[in-house]
Amino acid sequence: MPTQNSARTFRRAAAPATAALAAFALLAACSGPAKHGADSPAANYQLSEGTPPAKGTIDKFSWALYAEPLTLDWIQAFDYPQNTVLSNVCESLMRWTPQLTLAPGLAEKAANPDPNTWVYDLRPGVKFHNGEPLTADDVVFSFGRQTNPELAAAWADSFENVAAVTATGPLQVTVKLKQPDALFPQLMATAAGVVASRKGVEAAGKDYGVDGSLDCTGPYKLTHWAKGQSLELDRFDDYWGTKAKAKTVEFKFLTDPAARTNAMLSGEVDGSFLVPTDSYERLRTSGVGSLYFGEGLSTVNVNVTSIKGALGDVRVRRALSMALDRGGFVKAALGGNGTVTNSITPKAAWAAAGPETRAAAFDALPPAAQDIEQAKKLIEEAGAKGKTVTVATSPIGQDVTLLATALQTAGSKIGLKVELKTIAPDAFSALFTDPAAREGIDAFPETFYLSVTDPVDLLRNFKTGAYQNHASYSNPEYDALVEQITSTYDPAQRLALEAKLQQKAAEEVVWMPVAEWPSTVFLNKKITGAPTTIAYMYYPWAADVGAAG
């Protein structure tokens, strides 16, 4: 037992030691990250084609989502959280593979007897989660929901050229088009092509997607949704394809990026897509699991949601875009794991294009480099000095918060007043689907992922009246070009026309491109098998996840 004197001596000795420890901790906290060029991010990441295949089955794994889905009704599935879940529960006529190619889904065969007709032969023996068999009538009903104006489907655009959907056999559906539509067959691999049980949907009524089963055909069925906390999917034992390797998948809603990272590190969740960018290094070096990067077909953009205010003048949009510090954004927000871009469409989407087409698509785009002086001149010319631009932001991740901050800084450097409006993570999805949520907002950061491997999937958003044409752009020339592209089935010809469309979109600064961002997935040592590419939005990825060892 120490005497009083020795305790005092210990305290005297401990004081400098504590001070030294505190100073060391402070020094450690002071040292910033290693400097590296924002334009040389290749050193930071490497794209993987996939993760190692699962070695066996597993009872359960849990997965982090950055927000709770507003609904799981497939016609409203327009954001990451919904589609990450829904892709495992509801299937489409076609399937987007992890290699980002098109494959048969619920339709075992798709035929195009003439440019205005698509005939889909359904797989026999497919059952819905409610036990009902899949029929052509269910396809007609499901597509009918997408085109019902009362339901305001997010995917209604995909059916704009559809004249009629008819059941031409118990297991055959014929889609008659008003004009040739090259995008339609591709979109049948997305939520646009989902088929659900007519009986199930009608029985659920207004509760469909919010409460109860989804009655689709996927390898998992929705069994439990604890609102505000988590939802659970159970393996569907009557699934027509390869059975899922995990019996149960639990999705946990973790809106705080730090909480999400800590959940991955502590094992509270076994994995996640869309890993918070500021956690890449911690997760990489944690030894808890592996962080993979894959083709994301994604670009980070500033979505111009209103052209009624200051952003109505193309010179103001051009100036703000010109003043953005894209290199700094890639370094700070993406941790160097991305590339600066001057194109709103990702380069990988142009893979099938020839060198001439690629040159036409990219060479004449405005440079991505920051040019404050030129931007100031444009603002002066437009007489926009001192005007206010309201930008929505949300604490869902650094990509959103730092792009909003970068916009604010860009604005203040060129004489615009950029005000930020913070939106809760769960409400951020509503910006894409609800015009009321966009009231009073001029722009917001948006990471856009292509839902098909075709640049027009993004570029068509700026056609007059398009669902994602939030700002209501209208340019007859642009519309005519979209029409021409849509009706061109030949990929090479279509891409050549898309290059022209990309130029027009850039001239109008319909969106401000910022960076290309790879898809990310973290898997702890317990599980493996998830795809690394953005295919997880529509591909039943969870069925491939199983035991790592």
Partner 1 sequence: MTMTLVRRPGLAKVRTKRAPLYVASLVFAGVVVLLALLAPWIQPYDPNIADLGNALAPPSGDHLFGVDAAGRDTFSRLVAGARTSLLGPLGVVVFSTVLGAAVGVAAGWRGGWLDSVLSRGSELTLAFPGLLLAILIVSVYGEGLLAPVVALSVAYFPYVSRLTRSLVLAERARPYVAAYQVQGHSGLQICVRHVVPNIAPVVLAQSTVNFGYALIDLAGLSFLGLGVPALTPDWGRMVFDGKSAIQSGYPLSAIIPCLAIVLTVVAFNVVGERWADKVAGRTR
Q: Where do contacts with partner 1 occur on this chain (CB under 8 A)?
A: 26, 29-33, 38, 257-258, 261, 276, 278-279, 281-282, 325, 327-329, 331-333, 335, 393, 395, 398, 401-402, 404-406, 408-409, 412-413, 420-422
Return the number of the residue (325 or 498) whose C-beta is nearest partner 1: 325
What minimum distance in Å lies between the beta carbon of 286 and partner 1?
12
Tokens 């899922």 found at: 244
**Element of type H or E holding 120:** strand 117-122
Return the number of the residue (18 or 179) whose C-beta is nearest partner 1: 18
- Name, in order, each residue with C-beta under 8 angstroms of 32's C-beta and a sequence gap of 6 or more: none
- Name, in order, each residue with C-beta under 8 angstroms of 92's C-beta and a sequence gap of 6 or more: 105, 106, 188, 189, 190, 191, 192, 193, 194, 195, 538
Say how many Å lie between the first and final Cα of the chain, rounded: 51
Pairing outcome for strands 220-226 and 162-169: unpaired
What minimum distance in Å lies between the beta carbon of 346 and partner 1?
22
Return the number of the residue (160 or 325) whose C-beta is nearest partner 1: 325
What minimum distance in Å lies between the beta carbon of 389 and partner 1?
13
Return the number of the residue (180 or 328) whose C-beta is nearest partner 1: 328
Return the number of the residue (412 or 472) whose C-beta is nearest partner 1: 412
Q: How far is the C-alpha of 162 from the C-alpha of 169, rounded, in Å?
A: 19
Return the number of the residue (341 or 345) whose C-beta is nearest partner 1: 341
Return the number of the residue (139 or 391) whose C-beta is nearest partner 1: 391
What minimum distance in Å lies between the beta carbon of 206 and partner 1?
26
Q: How far is the C-alpha of 46 from the C-alpha of 49, rounded, in Å?
A: 10
What minimum distance in Å lies between the beta carbon of 542 and partner 1?
26
DSSP letters for 494-531: HHHHHHHHHHHHHHHTSEEEEEE--EEEEEETTEE---
What minimum distance in Å lies between the beta carbon of 280 and partner 1?
9
What minimum distance in Å lies between the beta carbon of 251 and partner 1?
22
Q: How far is the C-alpha of 151 from the C-alpha of 74, rounded, in Å?
A: 12
Pairing outcome for strands 117-122 and 162-169: unpaired
Structure tokens at 361: 């698509």
Classify residue 323 as left (phi > 0), alpha (psi -120 to 50) or beta: alpha
Return the number of the residue (25 or 359) whose C-beta is nearest partner 1: 25
User: Is residue 95 classed as helix, strand or coil in its secondary structure?
Assistant: strand
| Strand segments (E) across 149-297 | 162-169, 172-177, 220-226, 230-235, 246-253, 271-273, 289-294
What minimum distance in Å lies between the beta carbon of 211 and partner 1?
25
What minimum distance in Å lies between the beta carbon of 440 and partner 1?
12
Return the number of the residue (199 or 282) whose C-beta is nearest partner 1: 282
What minimum distance in Å lies between the beta carbon of 355 and partner 1?
33
What minimum distance in Å lies between the beta carbon of 468 and partner 1?
25
Q: Given CA atoms 306, 147, 162, 96 in this order, what sign does their dihedral have?
A: positive
Return the number of the residue (399 or 544) whose C-beta is nearest partner 1: 399
Q: What is the CA radius of gyration of the chain?
A: 25
Pairing outcome for strands 220-226 and 230-235: antiparallel
Q: In angstroms, what CA-CA distances link 374 with 318, 364, 370, 504?
A: 10, 18, 9, 21
Could you give phi then psi for residue 512, rounded to 5 degrees? -110, 110
What minimum distance in Å lies between the beta carbon of 264 and partner 1?
12
Return the number of the residue (114 or 285) whose C-beta is nearest partner 1: 285
Q: How far is the C-alpha of 403 from the C-alpha of 350, rounded, in Å?
A: 26
User: Is residue 128 classed as helix, strand or coil in its secondary structure?
Assistant: coil
Edge-first strand order for the sheet with 271-273 is 220-226, 230-235, 246-253, 58-65, 271-273, 519-524, 289-294
**Angle of CA points 67, 71, 73, to nearest 5°:** 135
Return the number of the residue (208 or 280) whose C-beta is nearest partner 1: 280
Return the number of the residue (36 or 55) whose C-beta is nearest partner 1: 36
What minimum distance in Å lies between the beta carbon of 50 and partner 1?
27
